[in-house]
Structure 1
């Protein structure tokens, strides 16, 4: 058998809500046994059953809104189904998987479940039978609910082999993975004690413990105590888990299932079958029983069961060995969880191997001498046992009443060495993300993450951030914050919780939900934005930026004979290095753009200011990197060869104000029109000095730029001539280019040699180009691509942003990886789904455990047939006029909308205030095809003037409550005409 990795776990057992609580219960030697909750049944009515057992707290809690289940359907669902859905979500998160990302995949679901108490309790009264109760009471739905709500298309089956059900489910899941039927599998089981009926059976068979407690292998053992439980593990093939860098709790080396056949009774265990299943499992695992350090036994605590199991264990494991094989059973802590018993033992064993400690088995102090454990090479685990280094093997047994036996062989996970980075970047910035289904749920989960992180030692946050990006990003209400260490992160989370505290009146802020994806435009900065060591901090911290700057450096080096990367990192001054500064700026622009696009930030359009148009053209697909590098290097050489005497200055005025002064100095031209009152003048130095003096007399502010050349003026004619003669293999743009040469979005004009020649000596029409971009593209975000902000400041002064938010991933000399992370965080909050791994160095791409999703506990559905579930009448109801309801949106009577709202509340069981006009039938209200048919009948009954309307006619209108009301109103008007 191939190896299977256990990569995720979630569980809830008596006294232990969650994996950590379960481990604490085991290692603390505690039991989750208590009195029968009053909700279950009146113990005085069933004295023969006893008044204690293992019961899950809050078994009636179910966040039906999260899973888009209507209240009526939730009330009709078997509590097994309600418990499994959040358990599956948390298990997948624990595996480092965002559950929503598995939608449409062939992920398998295998659930062990025993009996059908819910069906017996709900379906016996034929007058109360409904489609919802029919689906809600089906054992098969325990697996199918998970597959349906998570949109998983792999094998999905419920397994009932009585007490061995959940371990058999694990066995089937492993085989499905090895057969290639699925690549990921959820496997486990669930059990909720809903009635005393099976306890009565145990009592009549003489198998019930007098105190409701299982006492495995103890001299005090006197039978079974029943218990609740739900547990799921996420399984993957070991090679896949290792390749993805998953955290591995343990490895399933092999498993086997068999049957007693016709033995000594239908419900009695059979020693020889148990021996055979043990040996078969070890053969499949390629292991010898002598290698097994401990066995998590079935261990019900019945006299007959314990005796037969110990005989079988001793026969297989009691081979000549230096130390006895240790055995124990979690049933001493929990009771017998029946359909979930096998997964309880499996999870206990996986956690023991993971923590390398085997917890003590309760009731082991008074060993049953009649079991002759020592003679059989066995010993009870009477105190916690620390496991030695190296691979450890363990066995898990689960035997079903009726004769289906299962055994699994687990091994400790392979120890993957952690890479030691060559360059320490422990303080690298990451983006910590949290998402939830509502604003209030977001606040709740922010608080949970803050509490969990505050309990950890303070340390670097990048790996935690990366794990949150993989797991906590799939829901509509989003939060993101940058952080370098956990202390900083906890503070940020706590502040976010405070900001999201409910306002007076109990209403939480409704922000954080992105209703669309951001529309991003890149603005590439030109010359004049350079400074020593520009983007050096980002180069040190961002692996992606390093990779892309190195790529640009290599492309340029062949043409300029020098390394722009070395010049940047060396902090060299750029003045006097005309042949190097332009290639360096191009390299920075190219690397920043490639870094962002690699992170999933796809621009809807690009704009480049002067030199910035070269990197913009590469991003738009017009030029390849090598061709652009050649052109930029040529432009730099041609510029460096110009004679001295040129200069540039800014003037806080428009061309109309400047016209009179410029008319007196024909050699001075407007080199860049950046805004209505923001012009850059270019020309000979002496002429510019005279222009500045004249403008000062008019009260126009001017500022000389640190430029030794008169860019975008007739003095650039030699550069233009050289560029015009250079071959330029350009391709059509793959996205819109707002041309600062033409002041508009390019249509069919090629960015060929003629374009670049004209672009060098003609003015930069930045304001017009940006206006065209904003008008045509309507960006939500403008990201400046360059070493420091220039264009975004110019645009903000000009008031030409169109409401777009301004971002900069490398804002000046103090810039580091923090600003890049903040840029991605801002876009994520607005709806972008980034390619997060590009943000992190390899040493930070390690799985880190995070607190599981905290579901709402406000909604409760009792685990007995609820009186609130009114029987459906599957005939068309008589027309019943509903009371007039004032429209909540307009304050006016809207009888059609009112009728739709009333019908929705009746079919779904929602309170009327929940059914607002904007509520969507599928996403918000959880309606399915059966409910839509019921809704149709009730609407027609309330609105006789609608007449007969088919579901097919209604389908286009079933977007929301309001759209259906509008459709029906149109039908009434049409038929009235």
Structure 2
């Protein structure tokens, strides 16, 4: 549950004041930083894709060092630098997901390709849909060192392309993320050698504190693309012969290189707590400095390392004695380990109860260079989150010359369990050129979450998932199902709510209602099969158009909507609202009447207010969920709830009217009845005329071409019903006490008119289908006293009103609001709403929160973006972790396959058509040229470019590619001459629209008139 922002702000101020006055840093200058929350994490290190796999690797003390994978460089030629921590599938990139054409993807630095999906997954892990950040001031800060891709690809000047130029720029590594996520905050790549990514974290933290951005992605990425830097390390005497870093070990003999990418999502702590975000850890302070002119530009400086740590502690407001463990730079070089331990000992070797734990993830991964700092920071954040510090690799072979014990330090031979309360940790990262960084982290503050409602059964949630393609949707459904199969069965509502916030924004949608994770997992596995299921929808082109139908009298039953009331907090709130409005006039609680199963609900005095309360509460529940009707229709007493929903009546006024209506009608003499007849007016006219002994039977409702309702005396109706049954016509008596919508109501309606005359009304704010008039209400027709009196006395023209609603409002979905489905079957039998989907949130006895959830899921699949929070109670509004997005690995861009040179001219120009040529034939030939040109410019496989493909959203074209496309089209259609780009731009909606535009130009050149 989120904490109110005002409360968080006060808590934050008090916390800073305490740290200034009485904390470990008391008496020092007031340079405290604000607290920054780590709210999202993703990473891909050798043998560990994702934060969970990374943590598992650390806890088991895994070692990922191995031989060089195929495709990077010749292991035989460079055997001494061909071992390290290498990532598999470096060439896989889901270019279609990020709308990057294959030609551009092949030209991109692989650092860009591996960072994009990692950034996406980190944002998801933060509890935010990446699409929700579009247009925000979110910043991107990426640590990366060197420029190997540019050196590898730009040396052959003859193969240079615009894509290769942009693809090899180090700055573009951050810019790609900002571009594809549409982020407008600071975006920069940082190169301070091995400290790059921790410096990026420092810059991101300060940007957040300065208000430059409200969210920041801090990242590091490193790929070992060539042996070059390994050869440099070897010549400097820094390379480990076995490719393995052994930090602080007696066996330490140098650096082993490693791949890696990691991203953390950062927010100001008060913002994260206010939004109810899960917080892995808190960054309390950070600092960056430089060695200056020391004993060599590549040699580390003990004194600068010491100063940067002390500065970070001052900014964090902590004392070195408070620091429980340190994630050191720890390269495993003799000189580097000695200098770092001396600096750490100078700072931490204060009197303390127990030594400060020391470790370095380089012992597991190797030195990930530009990503080294982020690898250490993620390890530390996870350790604080799990309250467990992994053991230090090589702790058994500690180098005694480092004098760790006397310096207040120790290597962990087994994991260290952290005590309750706050724990402080530090992360160091030092650059070869002398730029040093240190970050201070602490455990996340404890938050109080609301307890789940104890109502007997788990709440029903709606699990949502989106993807960029049908294949992507099934792939991710399978991944979610597999993740659920690996965990114990639990309630699903919190996970569903998180999916609503995170797994949205992509064109292909899935949604399914579920109570628990086992039930959800089964639904996901079914949906992941080859055949599309009801839960899967293709890309919705627009939002659904919904019309509400409000049920009338005769649909009530004892205990109606009781289960929904028990399970839906939104429905409880809305029913309470109706109950409070009705109570002054009804003299009792309609809510209690419903929930107790009281049979008095069949008495007209109570039935009409009860049905009004249910209709109003269901409508309010749906509008709270973001389901806002384009039109409403109410059957008989259902028109009162329809009028409130349309804004024509205020709730208290409607409550007064409907209560008076029911009470006055119940006071009439008993004996009336109503009979539903499954036949049209014309068919039963003869039977009615032949029943001379039933003169009081009249038509009370025309619900459709083959559905009418008769009303009159009970005995007379019985005789008519028997006669109709002899003709094979189905009939059914309704659960009513009087012959409504007949002249028998006249004595009550005169008094009811007096009540209605005192009620204020307004023009409906949305389209209103009148079942009195059998058409849409006109602007000059008020819902005044005359309307309500006539509405009660005259036949209900439901069929005609429904026909008008469908014709004029063009709904895609009809939603019936009442205790059971009565109007939807009528609509279905009438044939008046062809192609319209029917939905009901509470379709009868036993209906619960599942039917409401099913309805919202169906509308979501159809394109609605609900206000999901209304579906969940406070106890379900907590962060959960769906499985991260699984990207396609089918498209491969191996390093050995250099980007293709500029595309050759099209081989078969199209000859300008003769004046008598068919416009259709010309269109086909022009379309073929455009498809071939787009395929060549984008580097797409033959047959992949379809006419419907959109240039920007689907194909990823930019201004450079548009110019290249122009050149190829001019070569393929020489009759056009030079094409004006400004005039061509409006046609670049899709491949087909461009072909159509070019075809018109060709026809104009030849004098052929286009159709």
Match of residue 379, structure 1, among 410, 432, 442: 410
How far apart in 1 are the matches of 2:197 and 2:602?
75
Structure 2 SS opposite 1:637: helix
Find runs of 4+ consecutive structure 1 residues off by over 6 angstroms. Answer: 890-893
Give yes or no for the alignment of 1:95 onto 2:126: yes
Residues 722-769 of structure 1, C-alpha deviations (whole Å, 9 max, x = no match)? 333322322222211111111111121111221111111011100011
8 Å CA contact 1:190–1:231 kept in 2: the answer is yes
Structure 1 SS opposite 2:395: coil
Q: Say how many residue pairs are matched.
A: 962
How far apart in 1 are the matches of 2:456 and 2:200?
44
How far apart in 2 are the matches of 1:583 and 1:263?
86
8 Å CA contact 2:603–2:737 kept in 1: the answer is no
How far apart in 2 are the matches of 1:713 and 1:501?
51
Match of 2:78 in 1: 46
Aligned ranges for residues 461-540 of structure 1 at < 5 Å? Answer: 461-500=492-531, 512-540=538-566
Match of 2:591 in 1: 565
Match of 2:880 in 1: 848
Please report how far the alpha carbon of residue 426 of structure 1 lies from its aligned counterpart in structure 2 after TM superposition.
4.8
8 Å CA contact 1:190–1:339 kept in 2: the answer is yes
How far apart in 2 are the matches of 1:349 and 1:93?
20
Match of 2:438 in 1: 407
Match of 1:741 in 2: 772
Give yes or no for the alignment of 1:930 onto 2:929: no
Structure 2 SS opposite 1:365: helix
Moved more, 127-136 or 564-573: 127-136
**TM superposition score normalised by structure 2:** 0.93
How far apart in 1 are the matches of 2:385 and 2:732?
67
Residues 347-366 of structure 1, C-alpha deviations (whole Å, 9 max, x = no match)? 00011111111111212211
8 Å CA contact 1:649–1:704 kept in 2: the answer is yes
Match of 2:894 in 1: 862
Counterparts in 2 of 1:878 and 1:525: CA distance versus 1, 3 Å: closer
8 Å CA contact 2:455–2:567 kept in 1: the answer is no
Structure 2 SS opposite 1:44: coil
Residues 846-890 of structure 1, C-alpha deviations (whole Å, 9 max, x = no match)? 1111111110000111235x34511369xxx69852799xxxxx9
Please report how far the alpha carbon of residue 575 of structure 1 lies from its aligned counterpart in structure 2 after TM superposition.
5.7
Please report how far the alpha carbon of residue 845 of structure 1 lies from its aligned counterpart in structure 2 after TM superposition.
1.1
Give yes or no for the alignment of 1:719 onto 2:745: no
Match of residue 751, structure 1, among 780, 783, 789: 783
Match of residue 966, structure 1, among 996, 1005, 1009: 996
Please report how far the alpha carbon of residue 773 of structure 1 lies from its aligned counterpart in structure 2 after TM superposition.
1.1
Give yes or no for the alignment of 1:703 onto 2:732: yes
Moved more, 414-423 or 773-782: 414-423
Give yes or no for the alignment of 1:252 onto 2:257: no
8 Å CA contact 1:439–1:509 kept in 2: the answer is no
Aligned ranges for residues 827-906 of structure 1 at < 5 Å? Answer: 827-864=859-896, 866-871=897-902, 881=909, 894-906=924-936
Residues 194-230 of structure 1, C-alpha deviations (whole Å, 9 max, x = no match)? 1111112112211111111111111111111111110
Please report how far the alpha carbon of residue 415 of structure 1 lies from its aligned counterpart in structure 2 after TM superposition.
2.3
Moved more, 765-774 or 200-209: 200-209
How far apart in 1 are the matches of 2:564 and 2:998?
58
Residues 617-673 of structure 1, C-alpha deviations (whole Å, 9 max, x = no match)? 111111111111111112122212222232211222222233345455553321110
Please report how far the alpha carbon of residue 401 of structure 1 lies from its aligned counterpart in structure 2 after TM superposition.
1.1
How far apart in 2 are the matches of 1:607 and 1:306?
78
Match of residue 28, structure 1, among 50, 53, 60: 60
8 Å CA contact 1:541–1:817 kept in 2: the answer is yes
How far apart in 2 are the matches of 1:644 and 1:230?
80
Structure 1 SS opposite 2:90: coil
Please report how far the alpha carbon of residue 418 of structure 1 lies from its aligned counterpart in structure 2 after TM superposition.
3.9
How far apart in 2 are the matches of 1:249 and 1:153?
26
Match of 1:214 in 2: 245
Give yes or no for the alignment of 1:359 onto 2:359: no
8 Å CA contact 1:398–1:405 kept in 2: the answer is yes
How far apart in 2 are the matches of 1:701 and 1:86?
62
How far apart in 2 are the matches of 1:425 and 1:927?
55
Structure 2 SS opposite 1:261: coil
8 Å CA contact 2:604–2:736 kept in 1: the answer is no
Match of 1:910 in 2: 940
Match of 1:505 in 2: none
Please report how far the alpha carbon of residue 185 of structure 1 lies from its aligned counterpart in structure 2 after TM superposition.
1.1
Match of residue 346, structure 1, among 366, 371, 377: 377
Please report how far the alpha carbon of residue 14 of structure 1 lies from its aligned counterpart in structure 2 after TM superposition.
1.4
How far apart in 1 are the matches of 2:669 and 2:537?
58
8 Å CA contact 1:530–1:574 kept in 2: the answer is no
RMSD: 2.0
Match of 1:676 in 2: 705
Moved more, 472-481 or 574-583: 574-583
How far apart in 1 are the matches of 2:342 and 2:182?
46
Please report how far the alpha carbon of residue 510 of structure 1 lies from its aligned counterpart in structure 2 after TM superposition.
9.4
How far apart in 2 are the matches of 1:61 and 1:718?
80
Residues 35-59 of structure 1, C-alpha deviations (whole Å, 9 max, x = no match)? 1122111122234x42201111111
8 Å CA contact 1:65–1:924 kept in 2: the answer is yes
Give yes or no for the alignment of 1:123 onto 2:148: no
Match of 1:609 in 2: 635
How far apart in 2 are the matches of 1:403 and 1:590?
69
Give yes or no for the alignment of 1:645 onto 2:671: yes
Residues 694-733 of structure 1, C-alpha deviations (whole Å, 9 max, x = no match)? 4445443332222111111111223332333322322222
8 Å CA contact 1:173–1:186 kept in 2: the answer is yes
Please report how far the alpha carbon of residue 343 of structure 1 lies from its aligned counterpart in structure 2 after TM superposition.
0.1
How far apart in 2 are the matches of 1:883 and 1:129?
32
Please report how far the alpha carbon of residue 420 of structure 1 lies from its aligned counterpart in structure 2 after TM superposition.
2.7
Give yes or no for the alignment of 1:771 onto 2:803: yes
Moved more, 273-282 or 950-959: 950-959
Structure 2 SS opposite 1:45: coil
Residues 213-262 of structure 1, C-alpha deviations (whole Å, 9 max, x = no match)? 11111111111111111000011111111112111111111111111111
How far apart in 2 are the matches of 1:355 and 1:190?
25
Please report how far the alpha carbon of residue 394 of structure 1 lies from its aligned counterpart in structure 2 after TM superposition.
0.4
Please report how far the alpha carbon of residue 5 of structure 1 lies from its aligned counterpart in structure 2 after TM superposition.
0.9
Structure 2 SS opposite 1:894: helix
Counterparts in 2 of 1:225 and 1:941: CA distance versus 1, 3 Å: same
Give yes or no for the alignment of 1:287 onto 2:315: no
Moved more, 404-413 or 944-953: 944-953
Structure 2 SS opposite 1:157: strand
How far apart in 1 are the matches of 2:181 and 2:747?
65
Structure 1 SS opposite 2:397: coil
Match of 1:450 in 2: 481
8 Å CA contact 1:426–1:460 kept in 2: the answer is no
Match of 2:174 in 1: 143
Match of 1:555 in 2: 581
How far apart in 2 are the matches of 1:489 and 1:790?
31
8 Å CA contact 1:645–1:709 kept in 2: the answer is yes
How far apart in 2 are the matches of 1:900 and 1:366?
66
Match of 2:464 in 1: 433
How far apart in 2 are the matches of 1:426 and 1:266?
66
Give yes or no for the alignment of 1:945 onto 2:971: no
Residues 375-417 of structure 1, C-alpha deviations (whole Å, 9 max, x = no match)? 2111112222111221111000001111111101111112224
**TM superposition score normalised by structure 1:** 0.96
Match of 1:622 in 2: 648
8 Å CA contact 1:314–1:373 kept in 2: the answer is yes
How far apart in 1 are the matches of 2:643 and 2:994?
48
